[in-house]
Each structure stands twice: as C-alpha cells, then as structure tokens.
Amino acid sequence: MVRQSLQFKNRISIVTLGMVTLAGLVTSISSPANAATPISRAFAGTTLNVLVDATPRGQLLLSSTIIKDFEKASGMTINVDAVPESGVITKALLALGAGQGQYDVIENGAKSVPQEVDSNWLLPLDKYYADSANASFMSGFSQGTIKSLSYKDHSYVTPFNMGGVVLYYNKEMLKAAKIKTPPNTTEQLVDDARRLNSSDHFGVCFRGTRASNSNSFGWIMLWMLNGGRWDPSGTGRYDVLTDAPAIKTAQQYQVLSHYASPGIASLNFDDCQTQMAQGKVALWLDDAALGPALEIPAKSTVVGKVGYSVLTGKAAGDEKYVPGAVWGYSIAKTTTRADAAWELIKYLSGKDVNLATTLAGASAPARTDVLDDPGVIAKLNPSYMAALKLSWSHVNPAYSPLISQGGAIRSALALAVSQILSGSSPTGAMTQANNTVKQLTK
C-alpha cells in the first residue's frame, strides 16, 4: 500500500507532465524478473514504513510500479509516506527522535547524519556492506561515494542519487545577447545575469525560499566557488560567515536577485526547473540531478536548447569546490525489521531502479554501473554527461557542517539569506548569523 501525505497531493512539479510515460518506462526496466539484484521472499508478510522526499524521484516511486513490483516479488507490504522537501527533514528528525518506530526506512542525506548518529537514531550498515552476499550490489558504487555518506568510520546511508552542481543555460538566449561562452566564475555569472535579463525572460533563477533551509544550499553553491569552506583550518571553526568569501557571496546573492523573478525569495529548485523548462530564464545554477528532465519533450519546451557547464572555484590548492549532495536510504535504529528494510534498500538503490529513475529524468545516478550503462549514454545529452562528470570530479561532501549542530547552523544561514533577499544589509545579516553560529559551537 502506498500512503501519500496531503501536502504531497497538492504539490505540482514538471515531472507530473510526463508521468504516464515515466511510469511505463519504469515498469519495463524495474521488473523483478529481470532484476540485477534478486529479491528475496524471506520476509514475506512483513510490513515496512518508509519516509521519502516528494522530489521527482519520490513522485516516481508513487506513480509507477516500482513499489508494487517489489511488493509482488518479496511478499512484503510497503507503506510510503512522501513529504515535500520543505518538511521531510523536520518530519524525519521528529519521528526518529520520538523513538516510537514510526518508520523503518528514511530517505536521508549527509547533512543530517551527524545529528542522527550522535543521537543514536540510525542503524550502522557496515555488516550489510561487508556481507559477501551483497558483493554484486555493492560493486556498482564507487568507494568515494560510499565514503561521502559515512560518519565516524561507519556507514549509515546507501546512496541512490549523487549530487553535484551544474550551470544550466539557454544557448539561444546567450547567442541573442552576444555572449559567446557561458560564465566560468561567480563574477561572470553575476554580469551575464545582468546582460541576459530582459522583458521576455529573467536573467537567472536560484533557490530563494527559506523552507527546509533550501536557500542556504543555493548560497553554498556560490560560496564554495568563492573559496568558502566550513572549518577551513581543521580546528573546529565554523563561525566563517563573516569571512571574505561569505560576505562576497552574500553581496552577489543580493545582486543576482535583481535579475531574477520578483518572487525569487519564495522559489525552490523545482520552480527554477519549471522556469528553465518553459524558456523563462537564461541561467540556473543547481543540482545536477535536475538536468535530465530538461531534455524530455513531454516536460520541456527547451529540448536541445540547453547548455551545461561547471563554474570554476577559486580556493588555492583546493579543487573540491562543488557541493556534493548525495542522498540515499537509512534504517532507523528502532526498527525490529532491519534485515527486511535492507532488502528494500537494496532494491531501491539497486541498478534497475537507479537506471529507471535516471532515464526518466528524476535523478542523477549514484551508481557507476548506471552512469556507464549504454542506455544512459545513449539517452542523456552528451553535454550534460560531460558536465556531470566534471562536477563529480570536484565534489566536496562537506558542503554542510558535518557536526551535530549542522542543521541549526544551516537554519541560521537560511534566515540570513532570506533577509538579504528582502533587502537587508548582506554584512549585517551575515554578522547576525555568524554570532548565532558562535553560540551554537562554543
């Protein structure tokens, strides 16, 4: 049985425009009869409760036969609770903290792991990773990807989506503005956004909403390119929001808002994706997983008109300037059905499902065996694939403070970004946020 939250029912994304096609595609690819990782019936009769983010991938899990196929093959019942990004992290933390076993499996990212592990809320996955029976499944991941989701030398999240950041640009709009090449630095990004802004379309789109601290991630994309890092000296210093890279980024974010939609302070990644797909914006810097949908005719009016590139960072001697938001699945420490939960995670993070969601434009593959799959190579835009691989070569998983206070630090930053987009002094807003960080980490 699939259970949706009421919030999710009211959510609209461009993924829904091509949902029938996507569901059909997934049905053929994820058939358990042809699964790369066989599904066990050892847990038939077991019921698992799962919390997922209502991203395009989450929507696809609900609309296609992915979950139903697993239920049929395994004999298990899977209840899926899909919650929009604005509330999914909060709901996960509240549920885990309550310790009542509300969920067996949760969708999770590196930024939440320190708090969850330090609170003893997650089950380590090391024994599953080391089991020779899972060797084939594990061989599809790079060690770097697995390591990016580890904490205190243990693994707690099995990845399904490998993050990275790509600059999406409308090639026709750049040509019309006589811009020969896409911007390569943050300074060029700001200048080109100004030149591209017109009465017909916006110069740029980026994450502006404070919901789920989303605008802080948009800010971090620029900040890392400008040389910003958490704990730059390795001494445990996280009050870096008044350092030069942070102030510069805050000023740039405010200037960029002048070349964006008037409602930029309320926009999230899916809103920018929609603007890009409808030909309403020239530049968009965001997660690499959002790119494939721009090349699907049922969901995009700019198929073949989008260019893909990666901006160059400035930190001397540090080539890891791309925030790597890797997402996956974790097992709650309170579950009494851990082995059954692992069976579901193997399926959802396995090659078949990862391949299906990638080809459907709902995620960027976390598995190397999917990235190298002939079907993916033939389906995805070659320019996008090149940008994705370049982005991955510069990925830094420590884009969020990997300490228990990390979520609170991101909240303070998100408030500052929101104030900046509302016209407050960038220096003043960042100083206030930095003072909060000092209090949190003293």
Residues 333, 307 within the same domain: no
Residue 418 lies in a domain: yes
Q: List, for residues 306-342, the tens digit of each pLDDT value.
A: 999 999 997 667 889 999 878 899 999 999 999 999 9
> Does position 431 have pLDDT exceeding 60, yes or no?
yes
Which residue range forms the structural domain that includes residue 95? 3-162+325-372
What is the DSSP pairing of strand 327-331 with strand 77-83? unpaired
Residues 422, 337 within the same domain: no
Residues 30, 141 within the same domain: yes
Residue 333 lies in a domain: yes
Residues 254, 403 within the same domain: yes
pLDDT band at 17 (very low <50, low <70, confident <90, very high): very low
Mean pLDDT, all residues of the chain: 89
Residues 156, 12 within the same domain: yes
pLDDT above 90 covers what percent of the chain? 72
Total tally of structural domains belonging to the chain? 2
Say how far apart CA 14 and CA 322 lie, in whole Å. 26
> Does position 81 have pLDDT exceeding 50, yes or no?
yes
Q: List, for residues 53-78, the tens digit of each pLDDT value.
A: 988 888 888 888 999 999 999 999 99
Residue 62 in tokens: 């609900």
Look at residue 35 in the predicted model and tell me its pLDDT: 57
Look at residue 10 in the predicted model and tell me its pLDDT: 30
Of 1-5, 11-15, 217-221, minimum mean pLDDT range: 11-15
Alpha helices in 139-205 (DSSP H): 143-148, 171-176, 186-196
Which residues are 165's β-sheet partners? Answer: 287
Look at residue 316 in the predicted model and tell me its pLDDT: 63
Q: How many helices (H) and strands (E) does the chain have?
A: 21, 14
pLDDT above 70 covers what percent of the chain? 91
Residues 116, 251 within the same domain: no
pTM, two decimal places: 0.81
Q: List, for residues 172-192, the tens digit of each pLDDT value.
A: 999 999 999 999 999 999 999
Look at residue 20 in the predicted model and tell me its pLDDT: 30
Q: List, for residues 358-395, the tens digit of each pLDDT value.
A: 888 788 888 999 989 999 998 889 999 999 989 988 98
Residue 107 lies in a domain: yes
Look at residue 5 in the predicted model and tell me its pLDDT: 40
Residues 268, 203 within the same domain: yes
Say how far apart CA 277 and CA 311 lie, in whole Å. 21
265 touches 141 (CB < 8 A): no
Residues 345, 233 within the same domain: no
Residues 84, 153 within the same domain: yes
pLDDT band at 16 (very low <50, low <70, confident <90, very high): very low
Say how far apart CA 256 and CA 249 lie, in whole Å. 10
Residue 77 lies in a domain: yes
Look at residue 109 in the predicted model and tell me its pLDDT: 86
Residues 210, 305 within the same domain: yes
Three-state SS for 169? strand
Look at residue 392 in the predicted model and tell me its pLDDT: 87
> Does position 14 have pLDDT exceeding 50, yes or no?
no
Residue 267 lies in a domain: yes
Residue 72 lies in a domain: yes
Q: Which residue has the higher pLDDT, 209 or 14?
A: 209
Residue 384 lies in a domain: no
Choose the final residue of a domain: 337, 372, 407: 372
Say how far apart CA 126 and CA 129 lie, in whole Å. 5
Q: List, for residues 400-416, the tens digit of each pLDDT value.
A: 998 999 999 999 999 99
Could you tell me which of 125, 127, 108 has the C-alpha nearest to residue 116? 108
Q: List, for residues 19-59, the tens digit of each pLDDT value.
A: 333 334 444 444 444 456 689 999 999 999 999 998 888 88
Residues 312, 357 within the same domain: no
Residues 317, 331 within the same domain: no
- Dihedral over alpha carbons 347, 350, 353, 358 (to 10 degrees): 150
> Does position 1 have pLDDT exceeding 60, yes or no?
no
Helix (H) or strand (E) holding 86: helix 85-98
Residue 227 lies in a domain: yes
Q: Identify the CATH number of the domain in which residue 284 sits.
A: 3.40.190.10
Q: List, for residues 247-286, the tens digit of each pLDDT value.
A: 999 999 999 999 999 999 999 999 999 999 999 999 999 9
